[in-house]
Chains A and B, each alone.
Chain A
Amino acid sequence: MNRTDPLAQLKFRDPERARGLREALDRLVHQADHSPVSVMHVCGSHEQAIAKFGLRAVFPLDLQVIMGPGCPVCVTDVPEVDEAVALAKQGVRIASYGDMLRVPGTSQSLADAKAEGANVDVVYSVTQAVELAREHDEEIVFFASGFETTAVATAAVLVDDPPDNFSVLSAHKYIPPVMEIVAEMPETKIEGFLAAGHAATITGSAVFEKFVERHGLPVVIAGFEPLDVLAGLVKLMEVINSGEPRVENAFPRCVTREGNVQAQKLLWQVFRATGGRWRGIAHVPNGNLRLRDEFAKYDTRKRFTIDASALWSYAPPKLVQKCQCGDIMAGIASPSDCPLFGKECTPDTPVGACMVSAEGTCRIWHQYGGRPDLRSIKRGAA
């Protein structure tokens, strides 16, 4: 085994190309006029690929690749979970994607409500929730999570004449506005963003052009193969070093400048972007996707009077107060900075939302390991 070359220990589909990209990345990071260079990605699937394939062992020491608010389940805010829990406890049947069940509300999660007898179904798609509504006479509320990619599917079923007993409690989020918030946080020092390939399949790369203009930070769209991630980072470093921030598409086999126009039309026909809090991060102007008035009939918030106040007379346990999910999602802290990570907080006993979702940074690091401490390893070896 070649101990000095982590690349040799990782399996790449095309090792030669991986080597070339790694060398390019090394060269570009060394050419930067300062160190370290910090860049952020905003996608749970990117973090999964980086952690699963051990890419941080291959990155140059002076390059920090940080996961930002890329987990839609994790940023679902406490009051949104409370709405779903309150409805469930009122006897309304709730359907949602699996990860949403264990996301903590003020005092309970949907899973807690289910354990107490509430009717909560896990579905893999919004279409399955509609099927449930067709098969039953009772009201079915789809508690909808996900970024724009997933919101398109919700939009598609709402224009397709769903049954009258179906409604949507939207916790859908829109990624471009939160990048503006994180870019301006003084603590982050982010110099560029890696945008998620499949979300950009829908939005197109053009959606980031205004962001680049406003913040002077480059955005590179990257795919999810280990080689795609490396290629995206090489492109991002090239743009950072050039001093001319712009949008680059390093995933052209899936993403165009215009994106999927049909999907965008559907998304904005059904949803409007409105401001709201993202858990642990901030109020994000235009970061929440809510149903337009034309679809009020299917809007759970218009259809039901939701009173979650019974859930609020509650002091959060001490553990929750120590949870660092907010700083982790803003890219200010790492899971390894959290005193609870891997101790009191594990996938079986999650304290914060980042340990619940398969796209949460803590959950991903807990499974695959996080950032290897290469500096101390190299010092130890020397």
Chain B
Amino acid sequence: MCLGVPGKVVEVDRENQIATVDFWGVKKQVRLEVCDAPVDPGDFILNHVGFAIRRIPPEEAAETLALYDELLRLADEQDLMTADVRGEIAAAPDATDRTKRASHESD
């Protein structure tokens, strides 16, 4: 639960303080209002329950990502740490939902 999960920022909606973030191929929207620094596409962020709590500069990401690569590679459904990471990814809404909602609003 306090592990969080890192992801790569693909797109930033500054007006709404939301980033589209790629977690191992799954695109999610993550809220930015409590992030410690402004983020740009290409940066990594640490997502905890749907909020970015820290910007991770790209040059520091590899070290952080290694643990998660290992956890997700094993893909053991019963594993507590893997389940924790999956829960953290599930906490952020799908990026496609956002597109859908935005198009509803513009209708």
Contact = CB atoms under 8 A, between A and B. Distances in A.
Interface of A: 13, 43-45, 48-49, 52, 72-73, 97-99, 124-128, 146-147, 149-150, 152-153, 156, 160, 196, 198-199, 201-202, 224-226, 253-254, 259-263, 266, 358-359, 363-364, 367-368
Interface of B: 1-4, 31, 33-36, 46, 48-51, 53-54, 56, 60, 63-64, 66-67, 70, 78-81, 83-84, 87-88, 90-93
A202 B52 CA distance: 11
Nearest to A43: B2
7 contacts: A124-B87, A125-B50, A128-B91, A153-B51, A160-B33, A263-B36, A266-B33
B1 A150 contact: yes
Nearest to A154: B49
Contact of B80 (A124, A199, A358): A358
B84 A45 contact: yes
Contact of B4 (A73, A198, A363, A364): A198
Contacts of A364: 80
Given A97-B1, A262-B34, 10 more contacts: A44-B2, A45-B3, A124-B88, A149-B48, A153-B34, A153-B51, A156-B31, A226-B67, A358-B1, A368-B80
Given A45-B1, A48-B81, A225-B63, A156 B53 contact: no
Given A44-B1, A367-B78, A198 B34 contact: no
A262 B35 contact: yes
B2 A45 contact: yes
Nearest to A45: B3
Contact of A52 (B35, B36, B64, B81): B81
Contacts of A260: 34-36, 53-54
Contacts of A48: 3, 80-81, 84
A353 to B, nearest CB: 14
Select the residue from A44, A196, A364 with max chain B CB neighbours within 10 A: A44
Given A156-B31, A253-B63, A254-B64, A127 B54 contact: no
Contacts of B80: 48, 52, 358, 363-364, 367-368
Contact of A266 (B34, B88, B92): B34
* Interface class of chain A by DSSP: helix
A253 B59 CA distance: 10
Nearest to B57: A253
Contacts of B64: 253-254
A198 B67 CA distance: 14
A253 B1 contact: no
A254 B56 contact: yes
A326 B64 CA distance: 33
A128 B64 CA distance: 27
Nearest to B86: A124
A45 B63 contact: no
Given A97-B1, A254-B64, A198 B87 contact: no
Contacts of A125: 49-50, 91-92
A253 B60 contact: yes
Given A72-B1, A153-B51, A358-B83, A201 B46 contact: yes
A206 B54 CA distance: 17
